[in-house]
Structure 1
């Protein structure tokens, strides 16, 4: 379920990352090549991006399929950015949250997406929910598992965790509380990207000479430099560096 991508690099229109590549996220909404769960990502989409001089990202999200949104094509052609995070959604369960359930989720300088599902949702999440401040639970952006995962990540970020530390801590919590969950998480602040490979595919394209890094559920073209991150891995990346760190199964 779901496909997502994060880009750091020179300023480009959205379409250079999402539409123009032969197998970009736009096409992955109906014809993903490496998706293991689900087949069509038509339950919403979103793009979050950073404008020069503003650390707080903007978002464009809709509840329906990206190919049916005529405004998306115009925005993708003219909006330029040095950093973005985008996703297309295949809902685990039917719900009434609409575009509120579409990634990227956002707060402050951060954008977040979850590719996967929590087993036993929502009962499996109850013990972890008890550890969140009541205000965080009352302000969940949607009633789906991904919004809850975002609440856990945001709580870790607000207590001062670095991006990668926040993701690894939350994956450890969720894997213990809901074994068998798929927890491919993607997070950025516009300068760094952190991601986890846990139960689904994660790839990255590093081009240090061009100061460009792309992290995605699957390659958007056939460039031989695309590299797959091993399962149970934390990836942290800047425009010039990529670091892979193994993640441990919970005891």
Structure 2
């Protein structure tokens, strides 16, 4: 299972969000604290990605993705201290056997102003569209960035966003279809447009922390502060810098 986080708030160096906290996403790549069980990997070393929205840039987010462990990228520390943003989505990856291993499989995935990440696993995802009744065209399938369950889910979600479906509804609908067809699927999703974060927890772990003018949503707390709140399983979280709402799926 992967680890991911999303941040909205005052512009900060990417290092302050991704690498500097005591239990940062960087640390979770080699020492996750909430990734337990015999079927859970001890490392998230199959790649990483960071997507951010440059200040005052309305063209959309920028991504930096690699197929190496985050600690093995000699360029990222310098970049992460230089680059600043008030909206970030980042992930470290543990690949599932049989899925793509190149950097195109590393979250976040993108479309327009949207960034998306999956922390989870969908069994037999290749036949998921037919089993859910999802009608995907050849164009939809060719738009997949990688051969992974995450990329397929993103195609299903993105086509709803493009049709005007609100973010929370798009996530909930795809999770509902997927869970019905694959009851054992773990589906922790993050989606942001740089203004709000929509997240779903179905299995695994998910937390959020809000303080004045900022919010962080993450697979596990990045600090030991007591103001982290656990998102209940089978729930949807919709949050901005100033509000947070949780609803059952």
Give the number of aligned pairs.
245
RMSD across aligned C-alpha pairs, in angstroms? 1.2
Residue 18 of structure 2 is aligned to residue 15 of structure 1: no
| Aligned ranges 1:1-251 → 2 under 5 Å | 1-36=1-36, 37-55=40-58, 56-128=60-132, 130-207=134-211, 209=212, 211-247=213-249
Counterparts of 1:129 and 1:60 in 2: how far apart (Å)?
Answer: 34
Counterparts of 1:141 and 1:216 in 2: how far apart (Å)?
Answer: 23
TM-score by length of 1: 0.94
TM-score by length of 2: 0.95
Counterparts of 1:131 and 1:188 in 2: how far apart (Å)?
Answer: 25
Deviation at 1:126, TM superposition (A): 3.3
Q: Deviations over 1:28-81 (max 9, x none)?
A: 000010013221000010000001222300000000100000111011111000
Q: Deviations over 1:69-127 (max 9, x none)?
A: 01110111110000000000001114444000000000100000000000233234433
Gap regions ≥5 residues in structure 1 = none
Gap regions ≥5 residues in structure 2 = none
User: Would the aligned equivalents of 1:119 and 1:179 in 2 still touch at CA under 8 Å?
Assistant: no
